[in-house]
Structure 1
């Protein structure tokens, strides 16, 4: 099958090439999918897209008219594709529901440790030969209460890591995990209860229409003044305007994130020469109580290998007529 891979990064191409065991005719483009770049898919039966690509209804219609019939996402999240429209048109769509949940949970932990122990500040000082310890006070994680919002594949690993640090773990999930309760002493509660009682809150849920801006002004107001909020899920789970106001007033201690709202056009590119236009991001980057990384949590060989393998497994299943277990949107198939 001829496959066009949008938003192809130099570092992921070797993993994708290695995973293409069936010899599909693959073309890579670093361009993100949008209304302008959809035309590049002419002559291709399948496209692969990443989290920053735009697969809205108008783009999907263009792809369909160009002859594309299959879309495989190189991500677990799929909020960037209009599934209802895709299924109405007749696309088969699949994602990568899991690749290396450890990579994401470990990155969330790294953000927490770096922020809590002032690692970035300390490094910036010592490379200037400033070995003063002023302003470098952190605190023990041991004995703290950590709230985990979402205890799926990634969240459950985050629970285990925090349990290993000797933290008391609270959690909120539609489907509580009995194993986590037994093995890690997790206490499940409502989101409000978790936010009120936690010293650290870590988000591990997908972005859906129901939880868009889930962490809004009211939710942020429930958190402790010294609490740290961690987001390695999706930027729009948190209301950025409310967050900025909360951080500026120092109503929580800090925000550690690997994601932002409206990443398209900003993330995955070097803007060091021309700067950026995202005003909210500029404000966040200027705040001393924010630690932000550029959507890199998935960037481990283990994760990239898993993403590539599942991407081509989805395509192989479609070619062979095998049921693709990662198929999305079956609830929208018209009878």
Structure 2
């Protein structure tokens, strides 16, 4: 089994059926907190002390919310969707926040849960996320991937 560095993560907007899928996919590797509430200024406190947040396409990450997340130490965001139109990607890039989605052609909840955890594993092991990466800045991982 490959060693994976554990990350501190909170997942917002988790539906009941997603809890077991994410827990199984995670296999107790990451410190994963699952919240049924959406991400907002009234729920942002759950992200304090976390490196990563996981959101859904129902969570709108505009400039003020991204700034607040940055201020409490969140540096990475995974959306459990293929789309990114609910995230101000341009502003996230100015903050040097890493953004990922779940681009699998299989839109099943199982596949989304697995891709979400694979993204965490790759970040934990300081690897680029490939097609799931939507950082609009050149990080060291992208440079290394391009030089292969």
TM bin, normalised by shorter chain, reads 0.7 to 0.9
- Describe the shift of the 1:312–1:7 C-alpha distance in structure 2 as closer, same or farther (beyond 3 A): same
Would you identify which runs of 4 or more consecutive aligned residues in structure 1 move more than 4 Å? Answer: none
Pick one of 128, 135, 138 that aligns with 1:329.
135
More relative contact order, 1 or 2 (CA 8 Å, 6+ apart) = 2
Q: Secondary structure at the match of 1:60?
A: helix
Q: TM-score when scaled to structure 1?
A: 0.38
CA distance, structure 2, for counterparts of residue 324 and residue 84 of structure 1 = 19
CA distance in 2, matches of 1:38, 1:57: 14
Name the counterpart of 2:42. Answer: 36
* Equivalent residues of 1:22, 1:316 under 8 A apart: no
1:309 CA displacement: 0.6
Superposed CA RMSD? 1.6
**Structure 1 segments unaligned to the other structure (5+ residues):** 102-302
Question: 1:310 Cα deviation (Å)?
Answer: 0.5
Match of 1:47 among 44, 53, 62: 53
Query: Partner of 1:12: helix, strand, or coil?
Result: helix
Per the TM alignment, residue 39 of structure 1 is displaced from its structure 2 partner at its CA by 2.2
* Counterpart in the other structure of 1:304: 109
Counterpart of 1:221?
none
User: Partners in 1 of 2:80 and 2:45 — Cα distance?
Assistant: 20
Equivalent of 1:72 in 73, 78, 99: 78
